[in-house]
Chain A
Amino acid sequence: MKKQVTMREIAEALNTSAVTVSNAMAGKKGVGEELRRQVLEKAEELGYDFAETEKPAEEKVITLGIIASIQYMSEGSSFYWEMYQSTIDAAARRNVLTMLKMLNWDEEAFLSSLLSSKNETDGFIVIGRIGDELMKRILRSVKGPVVLLDFYRPGYRCDAVLSDNYTGAYRITGYLIDRGHRDIGFVGTGRTSRNVVERYYGFCRCMREHGLPVVREWLLEDRDLRTETPRIALPAKLPTAFVCSSDYSAGLLYNELTGRGLRVPEDLSLIGYDDYLYGNAFSEKLTSYHVDMPEMAKEAVQMVLRRIRAPRRPYDVRYVDSHITERMSVRSI
């Protein structure tokens, strides 16, 4: 059987490097036209099998569709708007183009628009939560890989990048305990968010590690599920500190407390999660676990690109840890 001609042999014949030969064949910049012609001629002469040449995926300009729900994307005030900015930025650094696909209430129209524009995109990043049914339909019907950012449900056949809910909540709970707090509550609505549930367990982990009980009456929801409005019902007896599942709930709790004449941190300490400044003036005071959006976005873009190259890799969920940004909402006792 005729031995396969390698790029190295072509390189040796022309007294150049295998790398140059590879570049020349792939039509990359950096190889002059004349040299490129010589390489291709020599390759033909030696009987190089061009069919074997794999055009590296980096050559084609990749376009990613970014899917986000309109409710999350009100400009300037939203955590997810910031996440979106980080994503475009991360994509740009990899010379990847992006197209925003905003989901409003008409799911059918949205899905059709995704499918009709399928030749424009090579993959998708989904920012924030979208409904289970729609998500499954998207995963079934779109061309190219999908990576979820800041959201995940097991059973989805796709990759995801999330902040490390469990470790983050463990850290902020530990921060309170290190400052003398023993009676600690938790604020968040787990019923509507898997992320919040994981944060709750991170909180539990730290409490148990220090032999502290998790007291039911200090587990507060931040939403009235019937009316779907934000609402925190304070218990009669308060702990000395609260772990808040998000800066948003910290803000709600802060308003509730100040409404009762209580001061933070003098009367009660709060620690948040997100480290994202909302419109609330309190956020400038709030010590919070930082969500590393640039790193998450970078990971997400990397994961889509990897999957474009290797579609059959096993699915992966990445958790991005970070640090606590200290401000002034926690008092040592």
Chain B
Amino acid sequence: MRPKKKINQTDIARALGISNVSVSNALAGRKGVSTDLILKVRRTAAEMGYEMGKDEADGPPDRLLVVTPARWSADRAERFTKTVQEQGFQPEYYTLDEALSGACAQAERCPGILIPEPFPSEELLALWEKAGGPAVGAGFFDRRVPMDYVTDDGFHGAQAVVQYLRGKGYERILYVKPDADGSASWAEAAMREDRLLGYRSERYLETLHRGQIAEQAQPFDTEEEHVLTLRELRRCIRARAAEGKEPDGAGQDSAEQDSVKQDGEKPLRTAFFCGDMKTAYALLDMLTRKQIRVPEDAAVVGYRAGAEPCPQGRGPVTAYENDEKRLLEQCCAVLRNRRSRRETAEGVHLVSGEITEGGTA
């Protein structure tokens, strides 16, 4: 068998459509190369099996302190480590207590701290103050602590879902939120709010485009129409079934029905947008039990945050998907920028996701 061809910089250059010089500079992490490019080249190099030369690896990889509320499982740490290593960092894991007590001395080559799970504000602030160097929060945002954050874009992601469903001809789009059970962390609740408000904003903007707002007295919407919890939705479906009506979903807004042209007795095409996957799965189960077919009778679209895994035994669901890997890459880029004091946007860095079709819409 022919021996495997050794990958060189030209191969990487060709693969990316850039010059050899750019690849060489990127691998060596030289100044003048955008961080974006460095990340892209290193990732491609790793994927292609490129062996870093002596003059390329910037000495031992930079330390990255990863601080979590509780100790992570080995599994979780391993997955995380792999992604972070591809960015040229070597992670070290600490719990919050260890970090605050100074167990991780900030050595010279440490570019900063990565916080992949939220803490209460006071603790985060304490950590930030102790750090004395760059820190980035991944997947959450606390406005009280002035560090960098990289999060998914729930607000615009939700807008994208509404646009997508409209594009597919769904005339009635309802938002389904989880039954309140108090189990969500403050950060998770905040991220869900983003999606709910994104949904509301897009509905409002649509009516703007349809020229309906001019008639209205109010410049902005303040009501939460078409937003239901699972429990409320279940009740509505049950009520409609009891009345002998087609179980095509809920939404009692008759004004909305009047304003949309109806084709005889055909019910409006209905879609349910669930702000999180747990609700989406629960809704799918409920609709199955009520013999409502998805997507024929109603569509279901979910929203998957970066680190949310796909549960065993569940089929694909059309959803706005976020990639944890992309989030982490951006975190590493932000830390690099901060460290070299390059100017970059401070505060929140949004990473967009995309809608992947799963057959439920």
Q: List residues of A whose CB falls within 8 A of some B CB.
A: 6-8, 18-19, 21-23, 26, 28, 52, 54, 56, 58, 154-155, 164, 166-167, 170-171, 174, 178, 186, 189-191, 194, 197-198, 200-201, 204-205, 208-209, 214, 216, 219, 221, 225, 292, 294-295, 302, 309-310, 314, 316-323
Instruction: Give min CB distance, A135 to chain B, whole Å.
Output: 14
Out of B143, B144, B214, name the residue touching A191 (CB < 8 Å).
B214
Contacts of A314 in B (CB 8 A): 354
Q: Looking at chain A's contact residues, is the secondary structure mostly helix, strand, loop, or mixed?
A: helix
Q: Verify A155–B163 contact, CB threshold 8 A.
A: yes
Q: Given the complex of chains A and B, what is the CA–CA distance between A7 and B10 in angstroms? A: 7
| A225 to B213 alpha-carbon distance, docked (Å) | 11
Assess A316 versus B352: contact at CB under 8 Å? Given A154-B163, A166-B155, A309-B17.
yes
Residues of B within 8 A of A204 (CB): 197
Query: How far is it, in angstroms, between the C-alpha of A292 and the C-alpha of B197 when the chains are bound?
Result: 25
A191→B213 contact, CB < 8 A: yes
User: Is B63 engaged at the interface, CB distance under 8 Å to the other chain?
Assistant: no
Tell me the B208-238 residues at the A interface (CB within 8 Å).
208, 213-214, 218-220, 222
Residues 29-46 of chain B, each 1 if its beta carbon lies under 8 Å from chain A, else 0: 000001000000000000
- Partner of B349 from A221, A302, A321 at Cβ < 8 Å: A321
Q: When the two chains form their complex, are residues A54 and B160 in contact, meaning their CB atoms are under 8 A apart?
A: no
Contact A197 B205 (CB under 8 A): yes
Interface 9-residue window, one of B19-27, B108-116, B267-275, B291-299? B19-27
Q: Of A23, A208, A310, A316, which one neighbours B21 at CB under 8 angstroms?
A: A23
- A18 near B9 (CB under 8 angstroms)? yes
Smallest Cβ-Cβ distance to A221: which chain B residue: B219
* Contact count A vs B, C-beta below 8 Å: 124
Known contacts A191-B208, A322-B347, A323-B346; is-contact A8 B8 (Cβ 8 Å): yes
Name 19 extra pairs, CB < 8 A, besides A178-B144, A190-B220.
A18-B8, A18-B24, A19-B20, A52-B14, A54-B18, A56-B21, A56-B22, A154-B159, A164-B348, A174-B144, A197-B201, A201-B201, A205-B190, A209-B190, A209-B193, A219-B219, A319-B348, A321-B349, A322-B345
Set B160, B197, B346: member contacting A322, Cβ < 8 A:
B346
Q: Taking the complex as formed, is B200 at the interface, i.e. its CB lies under 8 A from any CB of chain A?
A: yes
Q: Give the complex CA separation of A23 and B19 in angstroms.
A: 9
Known: A23-B21, A56-B18, A316-B352. A216 touches B346 (CB 8 A): no
Interface size class of B (residues with CB under 8 A): 35 or more
Contacts of A219 in B (CB 8 A): 218-220, 222
Query: In the bound complex, what is the Cα–Cα distance between A170 and B191 (angstroms)?
Result: 13
The one of B20, B160, B194, B204 in contact with A7, judged by C-beta atoms closer than 8 angstroms, is B20
Within 8 A of A (CB), among B316-358: 343-350, 352, 354
Residues of A within 8 A of B156 (CB): 317, 319
Q: A7 vs B153: C-alpha distance in the bound complex, in angstroms?
A: 43
B201 and A198 contact, CB distance less than 8 A: yes
In angstroms, how far is the closest chain A Cβ from the Cβ of B34? Answer: 7
Residues B125-164 near A (CB distance < 8 A): 141, 143-144, 146, 153, 155-156, 159-160, 163
Most chain B CB within a 10 A radius of its CB, from A22, A178, A209 = A22
Q: Knowing A18-B8, A201-B200, A201-B201, say if A54 contacts B163 (CB, 8 Å).
A: no
Give the residues in chain A near B214, CB-CB below 8 Å.
Answer: 191, 225
* 9 shortest interchain CB distances as A-B pairs: A321-B347, A56-B19, A22-B20, A321-B348, A201-B197, A320-B345, A201-B201, A295-B345, A167-B348
**Does the CB pair A216–B10 fall under 8 Å?**
no
B350 contact set on A, CB distance < 8 A: 164, 318-319
Chain B residues in 8 Å Cβ range of A22: 13, 19-21
What chain A residues lie within 8 Å of B146 (beta carbons)? 323
What residues of chain B lie closer than 8 Å to A294, measured between beta carbons? 343
Closest residue of B by beta carbon distance from A321:
B347
Assess whether A18 is in contact with B345, with CB atoms less than 8 Å apart: no
Given contacts A18-B8, A201-B155, A209-B190, contact A323 B205 (CB under 8 A): no
Query: 26 pairs across A/B with beta carbons < 8 Å?
Result: A6-B10, A8-B9, A19-B21, A21-B20, A28-B21, A54-B19, A56-B18, A56-B19, A56-B21, A166-B155, A167-B348, A174-B144, A190-B220, A200-B220, A201-B197, A205-B190, A205-B194, A209-B193, A216-B218, A216-B222, A309-B18, A319-B156, A321-B345, A321-B347, A322-B345, A322-B346
Q: Which residues of B contact A201 (CB under 8 A)?
A: 155, 197-198, 200-201
Quote the shortest CB–CB distance from B173 to chain A (angstroms).
15
